Chains A and B, each alone.
Chain A
Amino acid sequence: MLSFLGILFDGLAYGTLLFLISVGLSVTLGLMGFINLAHGVFAMAGGYLLVFLMAHIGLGFFESLPLVFLVIAMASVVLERLLYRPLYRSTALDQVLLTIGVVFIAVAGANWIWGPGQQPVALPEILDGQVSLGGIGLSRYHLFLIAIGATLTLLLVFGLERTHFGARIRASVDRQRTAEAMGIDVVRVFQLTFAIGSGLAGLGGALGVTVLGLDPYFPLKFLVYFLLVVVVGGPGTVTGTLLAGLLLGVADVVGKYYVPDLGGFVIYVAMIVLLVAFPHGLLGRRAST
């Protein structure tokens, strides 16, 4: 029982990472109906940026994180402007092809700069090791992850539900044309949201270096996970994405722990079954695209 709680806890930490990385993708899909298979690239870029900042600039772990968020968010705006925007009204096929192209370029580029190996990150001492809570040894780093995830979720939900900007986002997701008629500049709203979402993905990638690993094939390896979290959660919802992220994280960790022979089966079967059962996501408000 105790060990099960420990695994559950690890699954939650893993799920928090999935949520952080995927929430931006959820916005891209929900708001613009844009199928961005290259979302994992932002997470990978965040990871490499963290490694670079810590190893070559000599910044600490905690100072690097906000910087990663900012740099990735700004870089994503450039990418959105140059590549994504012209394809918002295109077919799903064009979007898929373009973003697969971006993934290939990123994989080749990362391989060229950093080589094919895994990148290490030295965690600060305070996050190393375990704490004992009620007899269960919990990793400090996982606790830290869950704390960050909880804080960011609260911030996101507050921002979406209570601020003026959040109201604009919700209006744009619900009915884009009406929102435009009400004077909301949907493209501008989207641009900012996209930047925040990409920055969060970068942050998630940076936080996930020690949990998910970091190598040039990261965007392809986790592509299914990110898409799955978004589609199961229902595009355009923060709470749905959180729920789906945690659910998937726990299912994956528990599956790999208790039935390691099954490997990826659990996640792929779960994906097909969930998609067939809930074509619009668990908490989805409307169909995507």
Chain B
Amino acid sequence: MSANADQRPDVPPYIAVLQARERWTPAEIAFWGFCCAAYFLFPKSLMFASQVLITGLFALSLDLILGYAGIVTLGHAAFFGLGAYTAGLLSTHGLQEPLTGLAIASMVAALAGYVTSFLVLRGGDLARLMITLGIALLLHEIANRATDITGGVDGLQGVEVGALLGMYRFDLQGRLGYLYVLAVTFGLFFLVRALMASPYGLSVRAIRENPRRATVLGVPIRARLTNIYTFAALIAGVAGALLTQTTQFVGIDVLDFQRSAYLLIILIIGGTGTLYGGFLGAAAFLFAQDRLSNLNAQYWLFWLGICLVIVTRYLRGGIMGGLAGARRRLSAWWARRFPR
């Protein structure tokens, strides 16, 4: 039987393409299966694994606006930091229930995203870069100055997180933390994946590919970009809040320029517009950072710079692009080796 035997004859090909987009592939199932298995495989490094998932979730939110909607930003850490500080401040002021904290933090970040989207979406690429950068720097400066509230450069101390669902307490090895992060991340990922496979997601992509044509097709560009930006801010806020809740600390570095820059790098290394690129990039980046910056912090920055130059010059598409290319080559080789 040929490869398209499972395609029902009454389904037109373009519908089949859209259906294939929605279907979960074995590789995807394996990815999430691995994330669950990691709980048993690496019991000693679950804190690190949580960091990877949180950063991956943060990169996913950037992927939404950069990879799918094509909005460049240098200040995505603003929303991450807002979420982190909101979760931390709620906890120090008595509200220690983690899920409520998460929900409120995400709402604060989403609100900030909605308000700033009107500033960001005005200009061209350069103006967007500058305005997002400016907003992030402004928030960083506020967190730095308002030492009474945020603790300034010393960070917010005394964050305590209550029992999850009123029963499960967070442990020091980060075991419950990992499961909590994994569940929230997968939940949001599921939502994002469904959203991007829907006609809504297609219309967002259409805006990136060709705004003029999208307008002609009747896509309300401004409205789409505003709400995808808000949604991305919400996810970034959740990622920030998760970081606060699992580490029980908020450092001012959650709002750093370097965090925004690193995030861009992570997404580019992983591959944009692929949903999984951010997670793979986060794993590769954090692992390399962990190993290299132990040697010397400057050393790490140097190699990161070299890596960036090489990726932008020679490795378009990042890890996901490389994997797709390898898969194409492998299947071509397979077809040559074993002709049907």
B-chain residues with CB within 8 Å of residue A111 when the two chains form the complex: 298, 301
A-chain residues with CB within 8 Å of residue B306 when the two chains form the complex: 101, 105
Query: How far is the CB of B16 from the nearest CB of chain A, in Å?
Result: 32
A60 within 8 A of B: no
Query: How far is the CB of A221 from the nearest CB of chain B, in Å?
Result: 10
A212 within 8 A of B: no
Taking a contact as CB atoms under 8 Å apart, the answer to whether B130 and A102 are in contact is no
A-chain residues with CB within 8 Å of residue B309 when the two chains form the complex: 83, 98, 101-102, 105
Taking a contact as CB atoms under 8 Å apart, the answer to whether A275 and B134 are in contact is yes
Complex Cα distance, B125 from A91, in Å, reads: 9
Residues 264 to 289 of chain A near chain B (Cβ within 8 Å): 264-265, 268-269, 271-272, 275-276, 279, 287-289
B337 within 8 A of A: no
Taking a contact as CB atoms under 8 Å apart, the answer to whether A276 and B119 are in contact is yes
Taking a contact as CB atoms under 8 Å apart, the answer to whether A275 and B308 are in contact is no
For A116, the closest partner residue in chain B by CB is B298
B239 within 8 A of A: no
Query: How far is the CB of A61 from the nearest CB of chain B, in Å?
Result: 30
Query: How far is the CB of A230 from the nearest CB of chain B, in Å?
Result: 9
A112 CB contact (under 8 Å) in B119, B141, B302: B302
B123 within 8 A of A: yes
B327 within 8 A of A: no
B312 within 8 A of A: yes
A96 within 8 A of B: yes
Complex Cα distance, B311 from A104, in Å, reads: 14
B-chain residues with CB within 8 Å of residue A55 when the two chains form the complex: none
A94 within 8 A of B: yes
Taking a contact as CB atoms under 8 Å apart, the answer to whether A265 and B127 are in contact is no
Query: How far is the CB of A40 from the nearest CB of chain B, in Å?
Result: 13
For B66, the closest partner residue in chain A by CB is A93
For A231, the closest partner residue in chain B by CB is B130
Complex Cα distance, B298 from A111, in Å, reads: 7
Taking a contact as CB atoms under 8 Å apart, the answer to whether B72 and A96 are in contact is yes
B126 CB contact (under 8 Å) in A90, A97, A231, A265: A231
Complex Cα distance, B261 from A103, in Å, reads: 11
Complex Cα distance, B220 from A102, in Å, reads: 38
B336 within 8 A of A: no
Pick from A97, A106, A111, A265 the residue with the most CB of B within 10 Å.
A97
A228 within 8 A of B: yes
Tally of chain A residues near chain B (CB < 8 A): 45
A100 within 8 A of B: yes
Residues 233 to 289 of chain A near chain B (Cβ within 8 Å): 235, 261, 263-265, 268-269, 271-272, 275-276, 279, 287-289
B-chain residues with CB within 8 Å of residue A227 when the two chains form the complex: 130, 133
Taking a contact as CB atoms under 8 Å apart, the answer to whether A104 and B123 are in contact is no
Complex Cα distance, B126 from A271, in Å, reads: 13
Query: How far is the CB of B143 from the nearest CB of chain A, in Å?
Result: 12
For B307, the closest partner residue in chain A by CB is A101
Query: How far is the CB of B260 from the nearest CB of chain A, in Å?
Result: 10
Residues 292 to 318 of chain B near chain A (Cβ within 8 Å): 298-299, 301-302, 304-309, 311-313
- Give the interface SS of chain B, mostly helix, strand, loop or mixed: helix
B-chain residues with CB within 8 Å of residue A159 when the two chains form the complex: none
Complex Cα distance, B298 from A166, in Å, reads: 42
Taking a contact as CB atoms under 8 Å apart, the answer to whether A93 and B133 are in contact is no
Taking a contact as CB atoms under 8 Å apart, the answer to whether A108 and B302 are in contact is yes
A86 within 8 A of B: yes
A-chain residues with CB within 8 Å of residue B308 when the two chains form the complex: 97-98, 100-101, 104
Scan B115-142; emit 1 where CB is below 8 A from any A CB, else 0: 0000100111111011101110110010
Taking a contact as CB atoms under 8 Å apart, the answer to whether B137 and A224 are in contact is yes
Taking a contact as CB atoms under 8 Å apart, the answer to whether A104 and B304 are in contact is yes
Taking a contact as CB atoms under 8 Å apart, the answer to whether A97 and B257 are in contact is no
B74 within 8 A of A: yes
For B137, the closest partner residue in chain A by CB is A268
A-chain residues with CB within 8 Å of residue B268 when the two chains form the complex: 93, 97
A103 CB contact (under 8 Å) in B74, B130, B141, B305: B305
Taking a contact as CB atoms under 8 Å apart, the answer to whether A231 and B301 are in contact is no
B181 within 8 A of A: no
Given contacts A29-B126, A288-B126, 16 further A-B contacts (CB under 8 A): A35-B126, A86-B313, A93-B72, A96-B74, A96-B264, A97-B264, A97-B312, A98-B308, A98-B312, A100-B261, A100-B264, A108-B299, A263-B145, A264-B138, A264-B141, A288-B124
Q: List 22 A-B contacts (CB under 8 A).
A: A83-B309, A90-B312, A92-B126, A92-B129, A96-B264, A97-B264, A98-B308, A100-B265, A100-B308, A101-B312, A102-B305, A108-B299, A108-B301, A112-B302, A228-B130, A235-B126, A264-B141, A269-B138, A275-B127, A275-B134, A276-B119, A279-B124
3 smallest CB-CB distances across A and B, nearest first, come from A101-B308, A104-B305, A108-B302
Residues of A within 8 A of B (CB): 29, 35, 83, 86-87, 90-94, 96-98, 100-109, 111-112, 220, 224, 227-228, 231, 235, 261, 263-265, 268-269, 271-272, 275-276, 279, 287-289
